[in-house]
Structure 1
């Protein structure tokens, strides 16, 4: 079951990164300029590590009214390159407001929003800081199916190699 959740999360991140926003979504740049799907994420090699990214996401999300839903979705080999933070949306008074407030708090903390996909109940925002990218995802409706995740990945070459190796290893699983 854990592998299925991890595979679904990884597929969602890969889908967004490879241009899922070409239809129906909007790309937004900061500073008043419109971005485009060809705009690259922040350069790799920043000063953040997985523990710092986890703390920044957790601080923003808990301040917005979320509590963390414990999970072990990140494979051990990728723990230094990836952070998966999933809120317990059932405990939030208004999950959409908490999601929006979390994204806003990350922005105030230096995470630059560079791409947004918004279509039919799904919102996925890409935010970059110091060589990391957060995919903030809100999918579904509160009273039916709802999935909210904050998945951050290190964009450096060492982590890129580890991600490729993990995908190849799990391709036939």
Structure 2
């Protein structure tokens, strides 16, 4: 079950990458067009000073933003498979312990944006919110499904660089269910 979950998460990251390459895809609540932020190389492709982020730095940024916003990490959340540890980060909040999950989610996303993450898309339906942010080669999907009884808030980041794209594609092919 977990492998299937990560295959889906990795595929979602790839879909987000492809969807982000079009002109003007998604709503940007900041009122500015961010279609150009999905650059194809060059220094500083979303990062400060052009430095490439690694999984440890992304984990720290997400952890700091989420905990500062009032979340604690749910240790039972999905774990990244060992072969994807350098290419993916998952941080699941314990939404039931947050005083106001909706506000904490908004605050965490705001903190990430203040730390150099650029919001590319925003989607809201039936109380669920999904925001896609980018920094360097990393794409982060921040999702808030806390409107119902489940209280699921997740931050899943995928390195969309060529090395990780190859590792994720190989992992997806290896774990593809046979029909």
1:93-150 Cα offsets, whole Å, 9 max, x none, are: 11111100000000111111111112222211111112111111112524x2232110
Show CA shifts across 1:13-52 (max 9, x none).
Answer: 45545549xxxx942175x42345xx56355684211001
For residues 49-64 of structure 1, the aligned pairs below 5 Å read 49-64=54-69
Q: Partner residue of 2:38?
A: 41
Change (3 A) 1:9 1:146: farther
> Is the CA contact 1:135–1:152 (under 8 Å) kept in the aligned structure 2?
yes
Q: What is residue 133 of structure 1 aligned with on the other side? A: 139
2-side partners of 1:11 and 1:157: how far apart?
A: 15
Q: Number of paired residues?
A: 166
Normalising by structure 2, report the TM-score. 0.79
Q: Are positions 1:83 and 2:89 aligned together?
A: yes
Whole-angstrom distance in 2 between the partners of 1:19 and 1:122 = 20
Contact 1:124/1:138 (8 A) holds in 2: yes
Aligned in 2, Cα 1:11/1:90: closer, same or farther, shift over 3 Å? farther
Q: Which structure 1 residue ranges, 4+ long, deviate > 6 Å from structure 2?
A: none
Q: How many Å separate the matches in 1 of 2:98 and 2:14?
A: 28
The answer as to 2:164 corresponding to 1:164 is no
Deviation at 1:69, TM superposition (A): 1.1
Is the CA contact 1:27–1:35 (under 8 Å) kept in the aligned structure 2? no
TM-score (ref. length: structure 1): 0.82
Q: Which residue of 2 aligns with 1:28?
A: 28
Gaps of 5+ in 2: none
Between 60-69 and 45-54, the greater mean CA deviation after superposition: 45-54
Q: Does residue 99 of structure 1 match 2:105?
A: yes
RMSD: 2.7
Match of 2:106, SS state, is helix
Cα 1:47–1:11 change in 2 (3 A) is closer
Q: Counterpart of 1:166 in 2: which secondary structure?
A: helix
Residue equivalent to 2:114: 108
Gaps of 5+ in 1: none
1:46 and 1:132 map into 2 onto residues whose CA distance is 12
